[in-house]
Amino acid sequence: MKRNPEILAPAGSLEKLKTAIDFGADAVYIGGSKLNLRAFADNFTPEQIKEGVEYAHSRGRRVYVTMNVFPHNGDLEGVEDYIRELESLGVDAIIVSDPSIIVTAKEVAPKLEIHLSTQANNVNWKSALFWYNMGVKRIVLARELSLKEIKEIRSKLPEGCELEAFVHGSMCMAYSGRCLISNYMTGRDANRGACAQPCRYKYYLMEEKRQGEYFPVVEDEKGTYIMNSKDLCMIEHLKDVVEAGVYSLKIEGRMKSSYYVAGVVKSYRQALDTYLQDPKNWSFNAKWMDNLLRVSHRQYHTGFYFGETNKQVYEDSSYIRDYDIVGIVREYNSETNMAEIEQRNRVFEGDKVEVLRPDGDNFYITLDDMKETNGTKIEVANRAQMYFTIKCGTELKPKDMLIKSKGDN
């Protein structure tokens, strides 16, 4: 029986896991305490994995755990016990890049589903078939593939071999993320989870005998960004990705905010649901792009999908951050029209804010009659994660996110 494609969201913390699920993700991927490529994320403890799995499973969703570093000998110590623990916690799959982890998992947890990480740079059908025959259930395709190549890979694989591909988020300048620059410049090994992102630095050229004379590799007066990549965004071409044979539509961003997770997942959820309702007549709706333009991002691009690799370079390393999350609704009393808000960024009485929730279009409200929870009138909520109340005739729901343009006074 053919299943509908899944939306796979990043979850760098338990809060982000719950946000992803609430806003429509079919599955999330997380990092545990060992062997994942986001060493500086708020990685999950066993207790948090257990809670996250229970939250997801109770809602019919799935949880995958990344184990996608390239392990050295010392990294393999305790791997057997860690894999057994993940299986006992009920995770649905592990994402791996090295044969040592695959072999170990097959030995100690033969029923645990294995996904091959994009770090393994799978770019052809024969290698995909090799990994499938080794016991890998899903291939996370290298980002360097075109839609044409993906279609060919899909056509030559058994039906039981699933394909997953990134559709949104940051891109890496190195082939499938195999970068050595961070290790060379800072001692932080990107392939063991500690990338310092030196590709985002500003660079000049200096000839060794002319110390202090800097020659720009010209792109603009600020320097050069020849290693900088734009962000991937395939929402306008979601139909093409699905019909190329991709089952899992992956969103990058375990280091990103809960607001990023909510906004991006909502847009792709709406786009995919619309496609599933009428695949033949699906067309892009500009409304889906609104949330993607509000969350923190770099210029968007279609990556390698259409063979435009030379257009991927971005002339700046900074993010576009035009909106902030200012609060999350915790409670709403329909009798008093009072909402209790948890503050996330400074916000003032009378501010007009946008409400982001899983269903329907975003809408605006004004923050009226702001008070401390003890009833004291306030003009500004300026303490981190303080609770305050507002009067709002429009019914709000717990977990609604309040966002605000930085250009609004």
Whether residue 386 contacts residue 395, with contact meaning beta carbons closer than 8 Å, is answered with no
If pLDDT is split at 50, 70 and 90, which confidence band does 172 have? confident
Contact 360, 270 (CB under 8 A): no
Q: CA 42 → CA 12, 36, 331, distances in Å? A: 6, 12, 27
- What pLDDT sits at residue 227? 64
What pLDDT is stored for residue 52 in this prediction?
A: 98
Question: pLDDT class for 191, splitting at 50, 70, 90?
Answer: low
**Model confidence band, residue 295 (pLDDT cutoffs 50, 70, 90):** very high
Count Cα neighbours of 286 within 13 Å in the Cβ-side half-sphere: 0
pLDDT recorded at residue 315: 59
Q: How far is CA 129 from CA 67, 92, 159, 250, 283, in A?
A: 21, 22, 11, 21, 33
CATH architecture of the domain with range 6-174+229-311: Alpha-Beta Barrel (3.20)
The pTM for the full model equals: 0.87
Q: Count other C-beta atoms under 10 Å from residue 72's C-beta.
A: 10
| CB-based contact 168:268 (threshold 8 Å) | yes
Q: What are the CA-CA distances from residue 327 to residues 255, 336, 384 (Å)?
A: 20, 20, 10
Residue 63's DSSP bridge partners are 28
Burial label, 138 (beta-carbon count in 10 A; 0-12, 13-18, 19+) = buried
Beta pairing partners, 352: 366
Token representation of residue 312:
């991927």
pLDDT for 240 equals: 98
Q: 187: pLDDT confidence band, cut at 50, 70 and 90?
A: confident
The residue length of the chain stands at 409
Encode 217-232: b = buried (16+ Cβ within 10 Å), e = exposed.
Answer: eeeeeebbbebbbbbb
pLDDT above 90 (res 391): yes
Three-state DSSP state, 251: strand
The stretch 137-146 carries a mean pLDDT of 95
| Fold of domain 323-405 | Elongation Factor Tu (Ef-tu); domain 3 (2.40.30)
- For 24, 125, 191, 239, 284, the CA distances from 273, given in Å and listed in that order, are 10, 29, 36, 11, 12
Question: Lowest-pLDDT range, 31-40, 114-123, 264-273, 359-368?
Answer: 31-40
Rg (CA), the chain: 23
CA distances from 368 to 39, 340, 388 (A): 42, 12, 11
Of the candidates 285, 305, 295, the residue with the CA atom closest to the CA atom of residue 361: 285
Q: In this predicted structure, what is the pLDDT of residue 140?
A: 97
* Confidence at 262, pLDDT banded by 50, 70, 90: very high
Half-sphere exposure of 288 (CA within 13 A, CB side): 20
Q: Where are the domains of the chain?
A: 6-174+229-311, 323-405
According to DSSP, the residues that pair with 66 across neighbouring strands are: 31, 95
Query: Which amino acid appears at position 180 of this protein?
Result: L
